[in-house]
Amino acid sequence: MPAIAVPALSPGLRKIVTRPNQPSNPPTIDDAAVSCIIAFQAIDARLHTNQPVTNEDIVCTAQYQAQVMAGVEEGQPPWFAAAMTPTTAAQTQMDARIDSLVGETRTGRRTAALLWNRTHGVASDARLEVVPFADGTDPTREPHNLQAITSAGMISTLAYEDKVAYFTNYYCGEEVPAAAQLNSHIIQVVGVKRNVS
């Protein structure tokens, strides 16, 4: 932050107010208190003394006070950014590792569900695991909120709109097939090696 200039005081105000030292960068609480006192003293001198306190004195001290107060609110000590650099770098690395783990978890969850369904989902009423979509999201949760495919036989009971939603999220970017073919596409993508009509 740029340094804050100390206000130029008229000779009349200098008889009453001691010119402040240059405030710290960023300004401290002590600097803020001094700026408030100077602004108050300028107004008080204008109202209650015979000293020639000018309009410029009032405005100058008020502007100085505003700049110092703003500096206190937004300022960081000059050493702060340098001190935070190692922490910020470590946080960035940790975020990247977490993102990688999340991706691996999504892939692992999808793979585990597919393996379960391939080995246990032969009968039309066999219990299936929910297979996450290609992007790793759960079909049964926000933002999809679809009915879970818990058995191969229930696919034929899904509403057409739900089948389309399943297809478009499993087969990203592919054209939706005819209604008669949707069931077989969905059953294959959830890991069951049989067609359900």
Query: For residue range 91-108, what is the model confidence (pLDDT) as tens digits?
Result: 999 999 998 888 888 888
In percent, the amount of the chain with pLDDT more than 70 equals 93
- Does a structural domain hold residue 3? no
Mean pLDDT calculated for residue range 155-182:
92
Asked if 80 contacts 86 with a C-beta cutoff of 8 angstroms, the reply is: no
pLDDT above 90: residue 65: yes
- Which of 75, 98, 116 is the last residue before a domain boundary? 75
Return all residues near 88 (Cβ < 8 A) that are at least 6 apart: none
Asked if 21 contacts 6 with a C-beta cutoff of 8 angstroms, the reply is: yes
Q: How confident is the model at residue 1 (pLDDT cuts 50, 70, 90)?
A: low
Return all residues near 153 (Cβ < 8 A) that are at least 6 apart: 124, 125, 196
Q: Both 128 and 68 in a single domain?
A: no
Helices (H), the chain: 11-14, 29-48, 55-74, 78-120, 160-170, 179-189
Q: Both 48 and 110 in a single domain?
A: no
- Does a structural domain hold residue 178? yes
Quote the domain boundaries for residue 37. 11-75
- Per-residue pLDDT at 78: 63
Return all residues near 166 (Cβ < 8 A) that are at least 6 apart: 139, 146, 149, 158, 186
Question: How far lies 122's CA from each of 59, 134, 191, in Å?
Answer: 85, 23, 10
- Does a structural domain hold residue 70? yes
- Does a structural domain hold residue 101? no
Q: Both 112 and 56 in a single domain?
A: no
Average pLDDT, the chain: 87
Q: Both 111 and 168 in a single domain?
A: yes
pLDDT above 80: residue 194: no
Q: Both 112 and 176 in a single domain?
A: yes
- Does a structural domain hold residue 60? yes
- Does a structural domain hold residue 93? no
Q: Both 130 and 68 in a single domain?
A: no
Q: Both 61 and 128 in a single domain?
A: no
- Does a structural domain hold residue 90? no
Q: DSSP letter for 191, please.
A: T
- Does a structural domain hold residue 144? yes
Q: Both 59 and 117 in a single domain?
A: no
How many distinct structural domains can be found in the chain?
2
Q: Both 70 and 128 in a single domain?
A: no
